Structure 1
């Protein structure tokens, strides 16, 4: 009997010898200022969730750099663990369509499923509504790609307007819109995330929450209010598990987050668990379905089926 799969819908990889990550110069992230590989992920992601072990993943860009995306795509073509890539390209460029076509035609290009931009770092309160950005988003839509929305809680109005203006572009809210868990002030975030969830083409990643909490003292009780809002507003059929590893190492790591999600799912039905842990991500990122029942650590050949 095939064991149910676990999909990690959001993690990162970087090789500092090949491509610098300037954001790692921040003293607050010294502990993750090293290279992280798929083998590192296999070695650390050992805690099951609802009896499931890691089967496949979605690797997500870190820097605004097309060559990084090319690296990730080429890696996906060789690495059995990776099922899809969320890349980066300049949405404001008049040549965005040509860049997307080139990425899709290059090594591993079939693994490109979505693009992401670090809107959280943009000071323009209407960045996602700029005409040049919307032209780029239309290029994504026209090529059957998706968009990963990375905003902070005070920018959720941009995500809502994006959903309104692009109802035919599949969108996923990364890290649940970064709720201010450490500040224990979720009212504004909850109001906006419920508005966003009113758009059925938007799904949400249950990821990145522990790094929004107090890194040294958070407990499941700190995360549960956010989980309850997400479950009630999006429903399990529009939620997907993500680790945000290795950034998650700043606040406990892959296994501690997995154990927390396991606890949060304890009251859910099996079909709801399936959605959160595999179904939503598989549908959104068009991942190959689990076919062998084995965990990722044991897989040595890709089943692209």
Structure 2
């Protein structure tokens, strides 16, 4: 089974989606399950994990409602205020929903480099394990030092790094990112998504050979049993089409065993998110 571990839905609103700047104007529109279902049929994808793009409980409810109507949405990564003193009760409520698998906070947007290490935030993270909820780590490379300290504090919590931690591929930034990712990869409760890579390169001129060293580093650091294919649709559309995104990963892993390829393209996501 082929599972896309990372994609989004939205009804476009200029204020809510202000992060979609002029360079990304192609995605300033609605993206719904009907759009994605067609794309999946064309590309041989069996199901997906829908990930939050807005930091509200309404976003979590929106994704859950879509998943209830669309069987191919196998799981939801929502948002809750993990710094809220009442978060335990909120998580208890969400534990009653079979489709919600974990949560994410857009840490890359936080000015505080050490946001992950805030006591209130870590208190919220400590409440996830009770319900076997996962946590998606969305950070920029300069936040990886705090990320490493953060994951060390929760050895039993299932984490996944989104978008290979968004290295600055366009600028050729590699060494500092690579050093930190190798350290993070030593922690077996942490996985990594092969996703969001073409949008970290130049939108118009990227090539697979430019991105391959980053993928190789991630494969070496996490192993084939802890990396997950993800498209980051529709954000990926600013730099390429769905087939290009999928081919980037399938071509890269073509030399691995059939089992390893099946793990990366679906089985790891099924296991990680308990789909």
TM-score by length of 2: 0.96
Name the structure 2 match of 1:23: 18
Residues in 2 aligned to 1:156 and 1:278: alpha-carbon distance in whole angstroms: 26
Q: Which runs of 5+ in 2 are unaligned?
A: none
Q: CA deviation at 1:24?
A: 4.9
1:235-264, CA deviations, whole angstroms, 9 ceiling, x for partnerless residues?
Answer: 110000000000000000211111222211
Q: CA deviation at 1:84?
A: 0.4
1:14 aligns with 2:5: no
Q: 2:104 aligns with which of 98, 116, 140?
A: 116
Name the structure 2 match of 1:290: none
1:67 aligns with 2:58: yes
1:39-91, CA deviations, whole angstroms, 9 ceiling, x for partnerless residues?
Answer: 1112223564xxxx200100000011001101111211221110000000111
Q: CA deviation at 1:115?
A: 0.5
1:200 aligns with 2:196: no
Contact between 2:33 and 2:66, CA under 8 Å: does it hold in 1?
no
1:194-221, CA deviations, whole angstroms, 9 ceiling, x for partnerless residues?
Answer: 0000101100000000000010000110
Change (3 A) 1:45 1:20: farther
1:57 counterpart SS class: strand
Name the structure 2 match of 1:222: 210
1:204 counterpart SS class: strand
Q: 2:224 aligns with which of 214, 218, 236?
A: 236
CA RMSD across the alignment: 1.5
2:199 counterpart SS class: coil
1:39 aligns with 2:30: no
Name the structure 2 match of 1:133: 121
Change (3 A) 1:38 1:233: same
Q: Which runs of 5+ in 1 are unaligned?
A: 288-305
Contact between 1:58 and 1:84, CA under 8 Å: does it hold in 2?
yes
Higher RCO (CA 8 Å, separation ≥ 6 residues): 1
Alignment of structure 1 residues 1-305 onto 2, 5 Å: 5-16=1-12, 21-24=16-19, 26-45=21-40, 48=43, 53-105=44-96, 109-287=97-275
